[in-house]
Structures are given as C-alpha cells and as structure tokens.
Amino acid sequence: MLIDKNAIASHNEKLLPQHEKGFAYLMGMQPGVEKVIRKLIDFQVAIPSWALGTGGTRFGRFSGGGEPRNLEEKISDVGLLHALNRSSGAISLHIPWDIPGDAAKTKALAAQYDLRFDAVNSNTFQDQPGQKHSYKFGSLQHVDKATRKQAIDHNIEVIRHGIELGSKSLTVWLADGSCFPGQLNFRKAFQNTLEGLQEIYAALPPDWKVFVEYKAFEPNFYSMTVGDWGQSLLYANKLGEKAYTLVDLGHHLPNANIQQIVALLLNEKKLGGFHFNDSKYGDDDLTVGSIDPYQLFLIFNELVEGMDARNMDHANDLGWMIDASHNVKDPLEDLLQSVEAIMIAYAQALLVDTGSLQDAQQNNDVARAQEILQHAYRTDVRPIVAEARLRSGAALGPLQLFRENKLRDALVKERGERTVATGL
Ligand code: AOS
Ligand code: ZN
Ligand code: ZN
Ligand code: ZN
C-alpha cells in the first residue's frame, strides 16, 4: 500500500487546527450535523475499473504514467482511493476487460483493502478477438439468433464471474440501436432484446439484481433500443422484481429533468442505481459536480426525500457508482474529486429542512420552497464531509495528500512511464 496510517495521521495533524475552526462554525450554525456525519461515514461509492486509466477520446489518447496494467493493480488503485477518503469501498468490474484469473485470490486481495465488488458489467458493444459473431449491428437486438445467443451467453458468463467475487448485481448497457431510418424494425428489436434479457434474468441468483442502463444516443444516432428511462422501465417491469433501471447522468437528451426521473423511478420501486458523472453536452463523462453541482444536489434531494419516505437504507438499497473517463486529468485525482462532489451533494441534501419544505409546498409558497432548498445548497458543508473522513480514519484533504506525498510519482516508479490500462 502506497499510503499508511502514519502518513494520513501526520497530514491530518497539520490540517487539524484549520479544520476545527470551520467545523465548529458549522456546528454553531446548523442543527443535525451529527446525524449527517453518521450517514456520510456509511455511504460508499463504487469506483469503475475502467476509470483508473486515461480514457481518451475517439481522436486520441494521451496516456499518463503509472496506470494500472492488470486487475490486481486496479484493485490496488481503488484501495489507495479508499485509504485516502474511506468512501470508495467498492469496485465495479467490466468483463472481459477485467478477467479475474483466480477469483478466490482476487477476492482476498480486495478484502485486504477493505473493498467489495459492486455490479459487474457485461460488454456486447465491442467485438473481442476470436469472437464468432460480430456486434456491428447490435447484440441482444440482432436479427441473427446465433449473435443474440452469444450475447446472452456472455452476460451469463459475467454473472458467473460476479458470483465468484461476491458481487450482487449485473449492469447491462447495450449499444444496440440504429444509425439510419429503415435500418431496424423497432418492434422486433425491442422484442429480441426483451427475450434476451429474460434469459439473462433467469440466470440471476435469487439475491441478485439486474440494472438496465439506458442511453439516448451514441454509438447509434438514429435510435437506441434502450434509449430512455421509459424503455428501461418497460424492460424492468416485464422482467420482474429483480430488474431495475440504472440512471447514468450523462445519458439524457439536453436539459432533461433528471431529478424528476429519479423521483418517479424511486416511487415505482424501480430505481436500481447510478452512474455518476457530469456533462455539458452529452455523455461527456466528466468529473461529478464539475459542470452542474446544483443539479447533483437536486438529484440527491429527491433521493433523500424519496428513500426516507420508503424507509430505505441510503447506503445499501441502491447501487452508487461512478462512470467517468478522462483525457486531461490524473484519473485518481479526478476520482477523489468525484467522490468528494457526491459526498457534498449528499450532505447538503441531508441538511434540507424537509418539514418546512413540505409546509411551503402545501401552502403554494414557491419563494419559500426555493429559499429552503438553496439554503441547504449554499451551505459550505465541506467541513462536515472532512469531519466524517477524519472520524473514519481517512485524510482531511485526500487530494492534497495525494499530491504532497507524490503518490502518482510512486506509481510511475513502480509501473513505468508508458502504461496503458485495459479498457476504453
Ligand atoms: C456507456 O455509455 C455506458 O455509460 C456504460 O455504463 C459503459 O459500460 C461504461 O461507460 C463503460 O464503457
Ligand atoms: Zn454508464
Ligand atoms: Zn455512458
Ligand atoms: Zn457516461
């Protein structure tokens, strides 16, 4: 491990006097802080294995040094993140980008870092070397039965890997769709996809969930077979109680009201989880909270309100995952920023005075309702988030510590200057 308890302790000692001032001020201003801290400590966000290397764009890829070269190194990177913030206690794998050679060993390695395996992801959007049938014209929707069967078998294989690792869910994201009018019979594509998903669903262990991720466009630009939350919800309802919709924040048409979608899916008991990221134009997969932190707060506000109304466990009843990829930032620094942004939005949502908000809504007091939400949003909760980290043995300033201790340089020394992580 690149960072030990002593390094974190001496970093915290240095930052403590300043932190205590900020925290004491908030404690004096804001009721309910202790409760928020307990919730923050329990809340864990899963790191996707594919975000640990430089992502690139379709025009180029500028790899940074010291990227993880295999699954063991990816787990070690997430272990490092988790040691720094104690809020990244899970990893989400993508098959076949990550194939655990020896599952028992992989599981033991993750346990050393106090990590569990979140949703496993299948991949039928690329052809793999030696693959019999091509996914050029789709996978589960494909006009050819043998291609569909291959995609189904792959998903069942991914479930098998997940079972060995102790994962409890499968995320299915399909690139299926069409690029030109007339290319596809929409009804047949939907039906083929449904039948494929039904076979995959039948292979789920009793305590598993399947997440059906939707996306409005890309790589297909005329139609996507799971194109929005309506289509995803149709599939999830037809499949059964183990099937849920997964919301990736970047997968909507411009200006979509994602918070309303989230509220309604939650109410239907069909919200499965998230791929957090941020975007300005499309599926930009930018750092969470980097473009529109207010939207992120409004989403968390719906989550907290909706989950509390149904007595749900914030930490465990939904899948909290990041889905991001970058060309210009150190991936580990970016992930520290993303987790921090999620914790900030969650803390702000927990501070919303729900009773007063309901009262304002009941009285059609629109201005007051806005004031209540924005009071929470404009509260600088960073000392609360830092206090939660301090109490769970993490660093007061994870990013600062990452830089001060030159952790990337250490990774480069260990792994080399010219590394390319497997994946995107
Ligand atoms: C693709 O746009 C989706 O967000 C998927 O979640 C995908 O599996 C992931 O981004 C890795 O490629
Ligand atoms: Zn996604
Ligand atoms: Zn995406
Ligand atoms: Zn995305």
Q: How far apart are CA 318 and CA 48, in angstroms?
A: 16
Q: How far apart are CA 210 and CA 80, in angstroms?
A: 29
Neighbours of 413 (CB within 10 A): 12
**Domain spans of the chain?**
5-415
DSSP code per residue over 220-243: -SSEETT-SHHHHHHHHHHH-TTE
Q: How far apart are CA 266 and CA 258, in angstroms?
A: 12
| Cβ neighbours for 45, distance < 8 A, ≥ 6 positions apart | 87, 88, 90, 276, 320, 321, 322, 338, 339, 342
Nearest CA to ligand 1 atom 9: 323
- Calculate how far, in angstroms, residue 283's C-alpha sits from the geometric centre of ligand 1: 9
Which residue among 248, 288, 321 has the greatest number of ligand 1 atoms within 8 angstroms of its CB, and so is best to mutate? 248
Q: How far apart are CA 86 and CA 396, in angstroms?
A: 11
Q: How far apart are CA 318 and CA 45, in angstroms?
A: 11
The closest alpha carbon to 77, from 329, 276, 323, 333, belongs to: 333
Atom of ligand 1 nearest to the CA of 248: 4
Atom of ligand 1 nearest to the CA of 325: 10
Which residue among 92, 121, 172, 173 has the greatest number of ligand 1 atoms within 8 angstroms of its CB, and so is best to mutate? 173
Query: In the block, which residue shows the tokens 């968390």?
Result: 300
The closest alpha carbon to 330, from 88, 45, 2, 54, belongs to: 54
Atom of ligand 1 nearest to the CA of 283: 2
Alpha helices in 43-144 (DSSP H): 71-85, 103-112
> Running DSSP on this structure, what letter comes out for residue 49?
G
Q: How far apart are CA 323 and CA 336, in angstroms?
A: 13
H or E element at residue 212 = strand 209-213
Least distant ligand from the CA of 92: 1
pTM surpassing 0.90? yes
Nearest CA to ligand 1 atom 10: 323
Which residue among 213, 245, 283 has the greatest number of ligand 1 atoms within 8 angstroms of its CB, and so is best to mutate? 213
Q: How far apart are CA 170 and CA 209, in angstroms?
A: 6
User: What is the CATH architecture assignment of 5-415?
Assistant: Alpha-Beta Barrel (3.20)
**Residue list, CB under 5 A from ion ligand 2:** 248, 275, 323
Q: What are the tens digits of pLDDT across the range 169-225?
A: 999 999 999 999 999 999 999 999 999 999 999 999 999 999 999 999 999 999 999
Least distant ligand from the CA of 51: 1
Please count the helices (runs of H) and the strands (runs of E) in the chain: 15, 11
- Contact status, residue 97 vs residue 124, Cβ threshold 8 Å: no
Least distant ligand from the CA of 279: 4
- Residuewise pLDDT in 10s, the chain (424 residues): 789 999 999 999 999 999 999 999 999 999 999 999 999 999 999 999 999 998 777 778 888 899 999 999 999 999 999 999 999 999 999 999 999 989 999 999 999 999 999 999 999 999 999 999 999 999 999 999 999 999 999 999 999 999 999 999 999 999 999 999 999 999 999 999 999 999 999 999 999 999 999 999 999 999 999 999 999 999 999 999 999 999 999 999 999 999 999 999 999 999 999 999 999 999 999 999 999 999 999 999 999 999 999 999 999 999 999 999 888 999 999 999 999 999 999 999 999 999 999 999 999 999 999 999 999 999 999 999 999 999 999 999 999 999 999 999 999 999 998 777 655 5
- Calculate how far, in angstroms, residue 339's C-alpha sits from the geometric centre of ligand 1: 18
First to last CA, the chain: 26
Angle at 54 between CA 52 and CA 56, to 5 degrees: 140
Least distant ligand from the CA of 250: 4
Angle at 420 between CA 137 and CA 339, to 5 degrees: 85
Nearest CA to ligand 1 atom 7: 173
Q: Positive or negative CA dihedral for 295, 300, 303, 304? A: negative
Pocket of ligand 1 (CB under 6 A): 50, 121, 173, 213, 215, 248, 275, 283, 323, 424
ipTM, 2 dp: 0.95
Nearest CA to ligand 1 atom 5: 173
Least distant ligand from the CA of 218: 1
- Calculate how far, in angstroms, residue 247's C-alpha sits from the geometric centre of ligand 4: 10
